C-alpha cells in the first residue's frame, strides 16, 4: 500500500482551515447555515442546471481534475464502470473519449434534473448513492469525482460501493480536502454568495483510506494533488465559477478577484492560457474480499 497523505502541508492546513457555524440562516461572519439542512439531491435539483451550463461553456476547464482520477484506474474496454454521483456525466464523458463505445458505463445521479444532460449512450440510474438498484458484485470499477463533500456521512456510501464491486474491482475517488485553500474558497466566498450557502463536509487526511479498508478494499494510494483549472482568458475564471457555483450576489469580476486572492490565478505563457489553482485529495484501491 502506498499512503502519501503526509504530503499535506500542516502549516497551510492550519492557516486555511475553517469551520462554518450553523446557527441561524447566517452566522456572525455572514456564512450561510442553510446547506446544513440540505442533502445532495436538494442542492443540485436547485442549481444543477447552472452547473451544467457552466460545464458546457468551458468543457476543458476541469480536464486536469478528471484525468488525474482516471489515471488512477487500470481500465479496459471490458469493464463495467460506475460513475457516482455522476452529475451531468462529466467523468463518464472522459471515459468515452478514451474507450469509445467499448466500455459499459452506468451513471448514478440522485438529482434527476442534474443528470438530465447525461449522454443517453450511458445507462442512467436516478437513485440514492446508498441504495443503487444493481446486483452485488455487478461492476468492475467505480469512480467518484468531487461529489462526496455534500454528504455528511460517507461510510454508507463506501459500504454500498463495496457491495457493488466485483472481486478485484477498482475504486477511484477524488474530492476537496479539509483545511485547503479550495475548502476555504467553497465554504467562504461561495457560501456567502450562493442562495443555498455552501457548508461542505470536506475530506480529512486518511479518511478515504480508512473507509476503503473498513470495506475490504486494499488502498493503493491517497494523496493531495494539484489539478489547476484551465481557461483561455483571465476573465473566463469568473464567468465559469459564477455560473458553476450559482454566485448570484457577486459579479464576474468580484469572483475572479476572490479566486485570485484565495486560490491564485497565473498566466502560462507557454500554452497561452490561464490557470486557476485547485487541489483535491485522490485515493484508489482494489476490492480484496
pLDDT digits (tens, 9 = 90+) for 136-186: 999 999 999 999 999 999 999 999 999 999 999 999 999 999 999 999 999
pLDDT band, very low/low/confident/very high, at 39 (cuts 50, 70, 90): confident
Mean pLDDT for the chain? 88
pLDDT digits (tens, 9 = 90+) for 77-125: 999 999 999 999 999 999 999 998 789 999 999 999 999 999 999 999 9
Question: What is the reported pLDDT for 233?
Answer: 98
Percentage of the chain lying above the pLDDT 90 cut:
84
What secondary structure, in 3-state letters, does the chain show?
Answer: CCCCHHHCCHHHHHHHCCCCCCCCCECCCCCECHHHHCCHHHHHHHHHHHHHHHHHHCCCCCHHHHHHHHCCCCCCCCCEEEECCCCCCHHHHHHHHHHCCCCEEEEECCCCCHHHHCCCCCEEECCCCCCCCCCCCCEEEEEEECCHHHCCCCHHHHHHHHHHEEEEEEEEEEECECCCHHHHHHHHHHHHHCCCCCCCCCECCCHHHHHHHHCCEEEEEEEEEECCEEECCHHHHHHHHHHHCCCCCCCHHHHHHHHHHHCCEEEECCCCEEEECCEEEEEEEEECC
Percent share of the chain, pLDDT over 70: 87
The domains of the chain, with CATH numbers, are 5-287 (3.40.50.150)
pLDDT in tens, 275-287: 999 999 999 999 9
For 16-29, what is the mean pLDDT?
33
Q: What is this structure's pTM?
A: 0.87
Amino acid at each position: 500500500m502506498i499512503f502519501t497523505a503526509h504530503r499535506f502541508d500542516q502549516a497551510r492546513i492550519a492557516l486555511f482551515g475553517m469551520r462554518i457555524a450553523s446557527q441561524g440562516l447566517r452566522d456572525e461572519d455572514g456564512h450561510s447555515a442553510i446547506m446544513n439542512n440540505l442533502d445532495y439531491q436538494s442542492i443540485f435539483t436547485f442549481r444543477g442546471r447552472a452547473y451544467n451550463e457552466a460545464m458546457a461553456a468551458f468543457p476543458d476547464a476541469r480536464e486536469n481534475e478528471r484525468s488525474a482520477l482516471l489515471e488512477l484506474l487500470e481500465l479496459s474496454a471490458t469493464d463495467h464502470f460506475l460513475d457516482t454521483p455522476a452529475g451531468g456525466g462529466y467523468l463518464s464523458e472522459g471515459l468515452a473519449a478514451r474507450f469509445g463505445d467499448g466500455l459499459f458505463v452506468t451513471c448514478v445521479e440522485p438529482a434527476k434534473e442534474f443528470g438530465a444532460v447525461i449522454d443517453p449512450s450511458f445507462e442512467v440510474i436516478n437513485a440514492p448513492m446508498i441504495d443503487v438498484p444493481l446486483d452485488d458484485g455487478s461492476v468492475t470499477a467505480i469512480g467518484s469525482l468531487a461529489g462526496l463533500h455534500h454528504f455528511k456521512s460517507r461510510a454508507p456510501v463506501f459500504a454500498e460501493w463495496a457491495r457493488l464491486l466485483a472481486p478485484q474491482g477498482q475504486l477511484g475517488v477524488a474530492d476537496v480536502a479539509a483545511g485547503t485553500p479550495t475548502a476555504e474558497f467553497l465554504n467562504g466566498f461561495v457560501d456567502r454568495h450562493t442562495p443555498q450557502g455552501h457548508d461542505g463536509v470536506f475530506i480529512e487526511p486518511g479518511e478515504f483510506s480508512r473507509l476503503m479498508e473498513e470495506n475490504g478494499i486494499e488502498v493503493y494510494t491517497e494523496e493531495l494533488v494539484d489539478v489547476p483549472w484551465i481557461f483561455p482568458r483571465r476573465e473566463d475564471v469568473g464567468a465559469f465559477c459564477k455560473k458553476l457555483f450559482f454566485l448570484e450576489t457577486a459579479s464576474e469580476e468580484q469572483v475572479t478577484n476572490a479566486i485570485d486572492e484565495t486560490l491564485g490565478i497565473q498566466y502560462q505563457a507557454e500554452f497561452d492560457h490561464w490557470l486557476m489553482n485547485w487541489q483535491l485529495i485522490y485515493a484508489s484501491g482494489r476490492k480484496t474480499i
